[in-house]
Structure 1
Amino acid sequence: MTVPTNRRRTRASGRRRSQGGTQAAAPPYATRQIPHYEVLEEEGLAIIEHNADTILEEVGIDFRDDEEVLQIWRDAGADVQGERVRIPRGLCRRLIQDNAPRQFTQQARNPARNVEIGGPHTVYVPAYGCPFVYDIDQGRRYGTLEDFQNFVKLAFLSPSLHHSGGTICEPVDLPVNKRHFDMIYSHMKYSDKCFMGSVTHPDRARDTVEMAKILFGDRWMDPETGKPRTCVISLINANSPMTFDDTMLGAAKVYARANQACIITPFILAGAMSPVTVAGTAAQTLAEAMAGMAFIQLVSQGAPVVMGSFASSMSMQSGAPTFGTPEPALVLYVMANLARRLGVPFRSGGSLTASKLPDAQAASESANTLLPTTLGGVNFALHSAGWLEGGLAMGYEKFIMDADQTGMMQTLLKGVDLSDNGQAMDAIREVGPGKHFLGCTHTQANFKDAFYLSPISDNNSFEQWDADGRLDMAQRANVRWKKQLAEYEAPALDPVIDDALLDYMATRKAGFADSNI
């Protein structure tokens, strides 16, 4: 899939060619200047919080196959019967509010690309976990390491994506038990943005931490706090309903003890893994997320956590997940508000679709997910670019189309400019009645960045569009991703660090046999 580069370019000039010079000036994350959109008042939010505490106290959460975890909960005062943990009302909330940071910085290997997670900030992140990839030339196929590296490069080149992501696609051409090395290394080598860690086994989480120590070197430890800086963020999914398995718990313990961030996300298909109602799904989501975040604080006080919510609706006729529908948007708005009340960053949303192609269904469903993501106040917007087929496929063209939309959302988040320039009274006085503003001084000074300019939308006349080959948006996106990869240049990585990473990977890989589990 990689398009060869025929001539050398400097890193800066390569960026200018592929992004019109915008990459260097792009902020490392978005900061909202508009209010949050909220759908519940105090009474409704209090009902859901009460119900979540009731779930924790009366129903309980299963923490499976990890006796250490159960003992941690016993020591905290929970009622542990077998693997079922019932948590006294209010305990989770106190543990989280007394210890978890409201906002934290994730370090990037390029400090100019550090991201702030929480508060008024939004970080847009590529899709995650797709076993297949899709492009309009070759169709749907299993992902490879080359595809994985391509998407890391495309995320690096996109000014509107602030993060390199995690398992952008599964490189199935590598052994399951060793592919995490190459995925983490690809994020470190081909991008200088923040990245996510491996969670599929505690040992793979430990490898992520050790490789991050090599990458960040002296920056790994914060001399003021005596703790590691947060250089990795990782996705810890609850096995809904109301269960955490030993794989996720093991990875969570590794990251928490290293002061690395954990996103605790109940992964819910409403109607199958939670009640069919918005309020019921929200209460269960809050209970599961609070149990996970409180556990992190018991393992390592003050470790950064993000409250996650992934709730999709389903077809009650077929059982298939549906996306872009109104009920998950309502869950998102409610959960974002609950996260702010709890005092932790929030993860949800993205650009989700059940469509198999980058078509009108994909565009409409993704827009119906991304707009609530932005308006509701999501801080870490995973799955913001590339998602197809309910998360089974990562699309090249869809990635480019979604990155364009995240750029639009960031313009929306800036709100209304009320500076003297924004008010534009000088322009109104200069032009006066009955004339046009095209040539006035204010327009000439602002025209380059007055409006968001999509790199893939076609606004030309029919005749010009016809002469250019009658390309639809997916076809234009296809041209764009190929051009970007052809012009890509990797950000410089210290050869000593690169060699140390390669040596670590080679030594670890040699220490155990390949396996597909």
Structure 2
Amino acid sequence: MARKRMRSRPSPHGPNPEKVAKITQPSWTLPPYEIATTEQLQTLHDKSMQILEEGGIAFYDEESVRILEQHHVKVVDQVAYFDRAQVMEYLAKAPSQFIWSGRNPEHNVVMGGDHVVFAPVAGPPFVRDLDNGRRDGTLKDLNNFIKLSQTIPYLHSLGAEIVVPADVPIAYRHLETMYSLLAYGDKPVMGVYHTGPIAVDTLQMTKLVYGEETLRQQHVLHSVVNVSSPRRLDDRMLGMLIEFARHNQIIDVTPFILSGAMGPVSILGTVAQLNAEALAGIIFAQMVNPGTPCIYGSFQAVLDLQSGAPVFGAPESQLALYLSAQLARMYNLPFRAAGAYASSKIIDAQGAYESVMAMYPSLLVRPNFVLHAAGWLESGLTAGYEKFILDCELLGMYHRYLQNVSWEEDEWAMEAILHEVPPGGHHLGSSHTMRHYRTAFYRAELFDYDSAEAWEANGSVDAVQRANAKYKRLLRQYEQPKLDPAIDEALRDFIERRKLEL
């Protein structure tokens, strides 16, 4: 089933963001971390096929049932039963790699292969910062986070609804959100897509900006289809999936499983179910429109069986992630991995440990897409301004990590080792050091490396306070990408017209 994938060259950007005009999309050069043998992976695949054949997946949508039946899928009481031959036939129609286009072509990114895309948190109803604490999100907050995502080079997409603007009436909230995504940045966007009708509005607004022909030929929107585990797709998700697939836009099928609640407490049982659910959504998208670009997503956490709360960064989740990534590679599908998840309500030691324990294992599996890579707090209920900035600091480190080791001749520093620095000497003044000292190491802007005395003399400012100052500075420095005034007027006219209709 697996097909050989070509190795890409390392990303050419340097390690110091202050010295780089533009950070390019990184490429994987390190091998993936894998925990299952070929035989074990085949067994996992077979168990998922058994779930699809004998247990089935519920499709709670009449149009979806008709599409399934037209493609000779057995459906009983809205439960679809797929045989493994059907699964592999339709999986083969999904591309292994494609371009995700932004309003500015310079920001286009490759999805799949040896490439990775980082995108911000999506969906929290609350925001938090040092100045105001936790509160409802507003349209201003949404715009602020979009501006930060546009400005910070380590985020390659503006994402989706980074925070829910509670001050906008729900009937047309999606319109204002989509306008902000299109107007305040020119990186690739995901869009707003909670239901079929909302997806239609999103597509119409996108056509006004990109043009109908571009939307037909390129992949400019990216939807997330969350399977309502266990083994169920509802009419909201299916309606949106159908609209996006018919327009050849990206479908990210991501089962949301809390082991112990929506999935078994065992790792293997959870992954077998997750795999069956993800494959069902992907092959359904291929039935709607063969060749629809799809992403195999994995969102798995565990349920604390004492409190009933979700636990992020658990070791069991990372083991499940490793297996899911191996399956996606076996199917030759782009893979989405975990972001900087945290159950913590604030930026504390718990939040830091959880986020690193979620993100770093994700890097080990060589994902192609990482959603929620910055800003996630309180199990996804809150977008934190300072958390956003600190997460992006880590993304900068990860960009350097992904460059791997350069094997250029100058990297050996043999002139300095053999002729300039004697035994017991130092390299501080060597010609090699002087050539590279500005860019040799990634230097985290928000971390303090001074002595304790110097740190105290400078006000004992901690990383969260520095992040607070940085997000405000970035917002002051933000420059809005140009948008044709005629297009902007067309967007506002569409929004005002739809407000009257909704």
Answer yes or no: is the 8 Å Cα contact 2:17–2:23 preserved in 1.
no
Q: Give CA deviations for 1:126-183 in whole Å, capped at 9, x if unaligned.
A: 0111011111111111101000000001111111111101011111111112111111
Q: Mark the runs of 5 or more structure 2 residues left unpaired by the alignment.
A: 1-14
Deviations 1:199-236 (A, max 9, x none): 21211111111111111137715xxxxx4210111111
Partner of 1:274: 263
SS at match of 1:252: helix
Identity of aligned residues (%): 42
Task: Pick closer, same or farther for the CA change 1:20–1:42 going to 2, 3 Å.
Answer: closer
The answer to whether residue 81 in structure 2 is matched with residue 68 in structure 1 is no
- 1:207-246 alignment, distance < 5 Å: 207-217=201-211, 220=214, 227-246=216-235
- Measured at CA, do residues 218 and 206 of structure 1 come closer, stay the same or move farther in structure 2, by a change above 3 Å? closer
Does 2:466 correspond to 1:501?
A: no
CA contact (8 A) 1:53 1:90 kept: no
Amino acid at match of 1:510: L
Amino acid at match of 1:195: V
Counterpart code for 1:456? L
Scaled by the length of structure 1, the TM-score of the pair is: 0.92
2:109 aligns with one of 103, 106, 115: 115
Alignment of 1:295 with 2:284, yes or no, is yes
Distance in 2 (CA, whole Å) between partners of 1:451 and 1:219 is: 45
The answer (yes or no) to whether the contact 1:62–1:243 under 8 Å persists in 2 is yes
**Contact 1:347-1:382 within 8 A present in 2 as well:** yes
CA contact (8 A) 1:26 1:160 kept: no
Q: Work out the CA distance in 2 between the residues paired with 1:373 and 1:510.
A: 45
Give yes or no for contact 2:338–2:370 (8 Å, CA) kept in 1.
yes
For the 8 Å contact 1:148–1:169, the answer to whether it is kept is yes
For the residues of structure 2 that align with 1:424 and 1:498, how far apart are their CA atoms? 54
Kindly state the Cα deviation for residue 25 of structure 1 after the two structures are TM-superposed: 3.0
In the TM superposition, residue 23 of structure 1 has moved relative to its aligned partner by 8.6
Alignment-mate amino acid for residue 437 of structure 1: H
Q: Deviations over 1:324-361 (max 9, x none)?
A: 11111111111111101101101121100100001111
- Cα 1:23/1:163, change in 2 over 3 Å: farther
**Partners of 1:153 and 1:488 within 8 A in 2:** yes
Residue number in structure 2 paired with 1:10 = none
Question: CA 1:169 to 1:269, structure 2 compared with 1: closer, same or farther past 3 Å?
Answer: same
Q: Specify which of 245, 252, 265 is matched with residue 256 of structure 1.
A: 245
AA aligned to 1:371 is Y
Equivalent in the alignment of 1:12: none
Counterpart Cα distance in 1 of 2:17 and 2:155: 15
SS at match of 2:284: helix
Distance 2:142 2:484 in 1: 22
SS in 2 for 1:444: helix
Partner residue, 2:127:
133
Q: How far apart, CA to CA, are the structure 1 residues paired with 2:208 and 2:494?
A: 9
Give the direction of change, closer, same or farther, for the CA distance of 1:219–1:429 in structure 2 (3 Å limit). farther
Bigger CA drift: 434-443 or 129-138? 434-443
Letter in 2 for 1:92: V
Matched with 1:53 is 49
**Aligned counterpart in structure 2 of residue 39 of structure 1, from 35, 38, 57:** 35
Name the amino acid aligned to 1:214. Answer: L
User: Within 5 Å, which residues of 2 pair with 1:154-165?
Assistant: 154-165=148-159
Rounded to whole Å, the distance in 1 between the matches of 2:68 and 2:399 is: 41
Distance in 2 between residues matched to 1:423 and 1:284, nearest whole Å = 49
- State the alpha-carbon separation in 2 of the partners of residues 407 and 340 from structure 1: 26
Structure 1, 67-76 or 253-262: larger mean CA deviation: 67-76
Task: Give 1:171's aligned residue.
Answer: 165
Amino acid corresponding to residue 404 of structure 2 in structure 1: G
Give TM-score scaled by structure 2 length. 0.94
Matched, 1:448 2:448: no
Structure 1 residue 427, shift from structure 2 partner:
2.9
Paired residue type of 2:131:
D
Q: Verify the 8 A CA contact 1:228 1:258 in the aligned structure 2.
A: no
SS at match of 1:240: coil
Instruction: Give the secondary structure class of the aligned counterpart of 2:252.
Output: strand
- Aligned match of 1:82 in 66, 77, 86? 77
**Other-structure match for 1:372:** 361
Whether the aligned pair in 1 keeps the contact of 2:67 and 2:287 (CA below 8 Å) is yes
Deviation at 1:187, TM superposition (A): 1.2
Alignment length (residue pairs): 487
Q: What do the CA deviations read for 1:406-463 (whole angstroms, capped 9, x no partner)? A: 1111111111111112222233234333221112221122122111111101111111
Unmatched 5+ residue regions in structure 1? Answer: 1-18, 222-226, 513-517
What is the SS of the residue equivalent to 2:179?
Answer: helix
Alignment of 1:397 onto 2:376: no
CA distance in 2, matches of 1:24, 1:166: 27
- Report the residue type matching 1:58 in the other structure: E
Q: In the alignment, which of 23, 47, 65 is matched to residue 27 of structure 1?
A: 23
| Aligned match for 1:322, one of 311, 329, 334 | 311
Per-residue deviation at 1:384?
A: 0.4
- Shift of the alpha carbon at 1:96? 1.2
Retained in 2: the 8 A contact 1:28–1:114?
Answer: no
Structure 1's 322 and 342: CA in aligned 2 closer, same or farther, altered over 3 A?
A: same
| Aligned mates of 2:255, 2:89 — CA distance in 1 | 20
Retained in 1: the 8 A contact 2:193–2:202?
Answer: no
Does residue 152 in structure 1 map to residue 146 in structure 2? yes
Quick one: distance in 2 between partners of 1:59 and 1:293?
Answer: 18
Q: Secondary structure at 1:121's aligned position in 2? A: coil
Q: Is the 8 A contact 1:271 1:314 kept in 2?
A: yes
Whichever residue aligns with residue 249 of structure 1, its letter is L
Output the amino acid matched with 1:163. S
Alpha-carbon distance, 1:24 to partner: 6.1
